Amino acid sequence: MTDFSQIKLAIDGPIATITLHRPEKMNAFTRDMMRELIEAIDITDAEDAVRAVIVTGEGERAFCAGADLTPPQNEDGTPRHVFSDPTTVDDLSDPLVRDGGGQLVLRLFNSQKPLIGACNGVAVGVGATMQLPFDMRLCSDNARFGFVFAKRGITPEACSSWFLPRLVGMSIALEWCMTGRIFDAQEALDAGLVRSVHPQGELMDAARALAREIAENASPISVAMTRAMLWRLSAEDHPMKAHRIDSRSIYRLSRGADAKEGIASFLEKRPPEFTGKVSTDMPDFYPWWQEPEYK
């Protein structure tokens, strides 16, 4: 397993747990953390034994307090700017102007394993937006969220202008982003940003119970296909486009070993033992989309 410096990755049977691990900085986000999170998702995708991934933060204060705005240092110890000087970049498709939170979120969006967020405290800025592509989000009762960009003179990032209105509706998304206010767990629950609120000491148990429910009852191939279909096809402009993929998917999967096992386990009133592997047994037309380029 890869040694990370700003996150932790633990795999326990079918459940992987990724922990943002900069407790002295309230798990603030850096470019190094971005790269490590992307690498961790590469690992969990490649490991067929992993059926679900939980993402949380170290400690009881913060999931992630946003981007680390402490100026990093040059080799000579002098501070260097966190953001690139826009006057040095003429081409806005240049990789220098790519949003790091967006690069992470795009990788999370393409995960083949379900992602469960366990927000254990403060989550502002990228600490909030990186959670949007999670499939399910739970939080502790002391959690606080904030899309604070307008208060900092910038705009929402990490593809949140695409994700947030889909999750909570346009009106609430606009209010949260325009006011930039910090709001509590109950408001997040009422708006549908999180599916449940738990006492701090019970949050990870609830997240693991949800992960186990998926791991013990669902075909990993079915889950990977379902995740891709719901996230991608719900954004299409006509249901016919979903119908085409639905038809091909159910035709292919219904002839596979997991479908036979699913029916047999139901008739025999026993837990299923699915053998299909995401690494080798996805339908022959997956992926059906072409990933857009950054340009």
Mean pLDDT, consecutive 10-residue stretches, the chain (295 aa), reads: 89 98 97 97 98 97 93 57 51 77 98 98 98 98 98 96 98 98 98 98 98 98 98 97 98 97 98 97 97 91
pLDDT recorded at residue 79? 52
Quick one: angle between helices 100-109 and 31-46, nearest 10? 10
Whole-prediction pTM: 0.92
pLDDT recorded at residue 34? 97
- pLDDT tens by residue, 237-253: 999 999 999 999 999 99
Helix/strand/coil for 182: strand
Tokens 């922990």: give the residue.
19
pLDDT recorded at residue 97? 79
What DSSP character marks residue 73?
A: B
